[in-house]
Structure 1
């Protein structure tokens, strides 16, 4: 009898432990359809490449703590941009330094000579950051190295003659984004060099020649330039070159952010249409955003969903940081000025659980959609159209009284995200603020898409002309949902979609 009692108790304890383990795997604030590492620190996405039906995401990773440390390249793979599988670490620090940000390409022509037995090499190009030289203040502590893979990114071999690009004496000399320039049959490296971008070219990814630089007198310069990207998009029958430059600090709502320039590129020089600052995302939590390579006519962008103002302090455990959802880029002309647009990739539809559609919805004061949404997880996508834009706010709330507010101020002609009462914010004095963004569109009609996860919102207004990304940390899941308008609005079409988790 005693043995039976002991056995029953042991089974109960074991079952309880199993239940706790399953519950603990869904930690507080854990994103459910944004990639985040199972544990430890992550920042910039890098080396993103599509190859043989698989999206490869590499990222800055420190496997020994959940704060920034000696950088490695973490690795995750996906077939749909949402269901990510974490892979073994791809690149480790070595005698030449930490492995900072960079890119990866499919060397289809085997220009590098790394391919063997018909196997096409993937080649990673990255910054080697030497902490010893950094302490010595030589100004040459960052160089560029390469590595290659012949097994679809599973394992990597560093080039024995690294570094392939020495530092001419620029303290911030990093984040190489490499692309193939077909007209001249050469590789182009877009490199962040302190307060400007320097372009290099190479026939084989091993030997590099400086071509030109851009940006000393253009764009925002509130902080160091980092994580650039260069690629073309067709617009009205013309090839327009997009140059993305991330900056820290100096963003439109403080801290880290991404800016972009549009112009022409001839294989040597980038000539911008304008030197004015255009922002990729007006929120505070989309940094180091760059595109996947080898995706054909699709330009797919992914960013680090955090900000250097508080990235090391956010209250998540046992990991820190996530990425934005993948976004499809395009171009749109407004008043004869071309702007970059970004909207959620079509693969987001794969996460649909249920949805409802409403037409001619009149909102005066408050419309409570909590019961109709019946959303226990807080994961959703909201799309609606207005013919005559007026003041409104979309409120996400919970039983503790936390509120995350996304809205539009007609008088100021600004969108905003207000996280002043959104939950935990005492980890950084500037976190609990209201962020604003201009409405770029001049159309009376307005389109809104809002994507919400457990601890983030991403706003895509006017078909992606104005974008905002913000993270937040509510005390419990935001299951309450309201639309408010003091002046009154009529929503022509509204679609609310409950989304499912894609992470384990």
Structure 2
């Protein structure tokens, strides 16, 4: 009898990971079966919200970058489409933005047409004539974003830099205005501001930074006006993501409030403190990065979305076949706090169908002497739990996910992350959103937020308040 031949171990493919449909969120966008990271090209046009995103269309870890594409009419139900701008052997398609060129300044549109124009970073490969260079390029669509054509004159802005990326472009100044681009020199921790009459020819206007958190590369800037609630006054907000070196470790997103005159951004408050806690952060959790806002949202609303992950462990999160999700869309406002500082508030856009996710509204005692645990769990004692501690003496809120379910897939994942209570009032109001593997906590009407990935063994469906003792 002939023995069954032994297949060499090196030739045996590892088994495919088990699918994890129980971890796929319903209101947080995920790609169908591939990897995603930064949101790109956020645009509202003709009644449709467009979400483009960094996408490895060939796998579920970071790889060759293209622009994926999804659309929505309500900001919570998303339909994924074919890849919009695909990578080539010479060019990876890194982050950027999209605009509706309603004045046809670039000349891409014919009679009766409106061109949607994507402004993205060409990350040139070793197979190109610009190996290692990052420069800004254009693609345009004449059919409402379905198909895209690269501009033959790309790149339109090339400084020869290897770290010049992530252009956010918007129109400034009415009919006599011009296009403004904010991008970054990532390693220099600088935001660079350019202007253009036509999206094709760009002039450097100013630079901002380094400032505040500079422990990692600056990425994915955004610049936009916000009205100060109840005043009729307007300020400008400059958003800058940072990796690593954020408040909770790894990736995060900070912001500055100030003024913009069409050429230069000047912050209203710039601290010389070396402490990260003295800066302004859009989110104090581990999983909110590369946040940018939609261009042309209706009624002047400022709507923002971020990547709900962290570069510390993003390639290792235990989902399959998809990996990574977006945050909920958030509406931003500016409020002046009791200490006189202008800060951003964020309100989640939630589905009207409450069965799609768990939303808990909780009032938590937070006067001096109060220390309370808000415990999220399930009927299964082994299913995992989240403990959110509100400390009235320390004026802090801490989200502990160390017992939330699967936490050992990466040594950096298990964490307890702390944010300040910025409101002087008591009790503290928490809106807690649980959507399978994403947790978002909105504190005091969104004055503070914490976004965390979680991988519970069973859905978290219960909440209870318990007195807490200092650890």
TM-score for the superposition, normalised by structure 1? 0.83
Say if 1:134 and 1:141, in contact at 8 Å, map to a contact too: no
Aligned partner of residue 312 in structure 1, secondary structure? helix
Aligned partner of residue 350 in structure 1, secondary structure? coil
Q: Which residue pairs with 1:146 in the alignment?
A: 138
Q: CA deviation at 1:402?
A: 1.4
Q: Out of 221, 224, 230, which is 2:217 matched to?
A: 224
Inter-partner Cα distance in structure 2 for 1:260 and 1:341? 12
Q: CA deviation at 1:425?
A: 1.4
Inter-partner Cα distance in structure 2 for 1:332 and 1:133? 50
Say if 1:28 and 1:316, in contact at 8 Å, map to a contact too: no
Say if 2:55 and 2:66, in contact at 8 Å, map to a contact too: yes
Inter-partner Cα distance in structure 1 for 2:323 and 2:128? 26
Aligned partner of residue 178 in structure 1, secondary structure? strand
Inter-partner Cα distance in structure 1 for 2:364 and 2:463? 19
Show CA shifts across 1:171-209 (max 9, x none).
311000001011551000000112110000000001100
Q: CA deviation at 1:387?
A: 7.3
Inter-partner Cα distance in structure 1 for 2:212 and 2:360? 33
Q: Does 1:431 align with 2:413?
A: yes
Q: Out of 199, 203, 211, which is 2:205 matched to?
A: 211
Structure 1 spans left out of the alignment, 5+ residues: 1-23, 354-376, 488-504
Q: CA deviation at 1:351?
A: 2.3
Q: CA deviation at 1:170?
A: 3.2
Q: Which residue pairs with 1:256 in the alignment?
A: 251
Q: Does 1:337 align with 2:317?
A: no
Q: CA deviation at 1:90?
A: 0.1
Aligned partner of residue 300 in structure 2, secondary structure? coil
Q: Which residue pairs with 1:89 in the alignment?
A: 83
Aligned partner of residue 405 in structure 2, secondary structure? coil
Superposition pairs of residues 111-190 of structure 1, within 5 angstroms: 111-132=105-126, 141-167=133-159, 169-182=160-173, 185-190=177-182
Inter-partner Cα distance in structure 1 for 2:407 and 2:325? 18
Structure 2 spans left out of the alignment, 5+ residues: 1-17, 272-278
Task: Tell me which protein shows more strand as a share of its residues.
Answer: 1
Say if 1:100 and 1:127, in contact at 8 Å, map to a contact too: yes
Inter-partner Cα distance in structure 1 for 2:432 and 2:192? 36
User: May I ask how many residue pairs the two structures share in their alignment?
Assistant: 434
TM-score for the superposition, normalised by structure 2? 0.88
Aligned partner of residue 352 in structure 2, secondary structure? helix
Inter-partner Cα distance in structure 2 for 1:427 and 1:181? 46
Superposition pairs of residues 392-403 of structure 1, within 5 angstroms: 392-398=372-378, 399=380, 400-403=382-385
Show CA shifts across 1:361-393 (max 9, x none).
xxxxxxxxxxxxxxxx8x311123457543222
Q: Does 1:274 align with 2:269?
A: yes
Inter-partner Cα distance in structure 1 for 2:447 and 2:459? 29
Inter-partner Cα distance in structure 1 for 2:341 and 2:461? 40
Inter-partner Cα distance in structure 2 for 1:156 and 1:54? 17
Inter-partner Cα distance in structure 2 for 1:56 and 1:262? 27
Aligned partner of residue 309 in structure 1, secondary structure? coil
Q: Out of 291, 308, 312, which is 1:309 matched to?
A: 312
Say if 2:365 and 2:392, in contact at 8 Å, map to a contact too: no
Q: Which residue pairs with 2:303 in the alignment?
A: 300
Q: CA deviation at 1:95?
A: 5.5
Q: Which moved more, 1:58-67 or 1:86-95?
A: 86-95
Show CA shifts across 1:43-83 (max 9, x none).
00100100111110000000111111110000001110111
Superposition pairs of residues 25-36 of structure 1, within 5 angstroms: 27-36=21-30
Q: Which residue pairs with 2:66 in the alignment?
A: 72
Q: CA deviation at 1:444?
A: 3.1
Inter-partner Cα distance in structure 2 for 1:45 and 1:238? 29
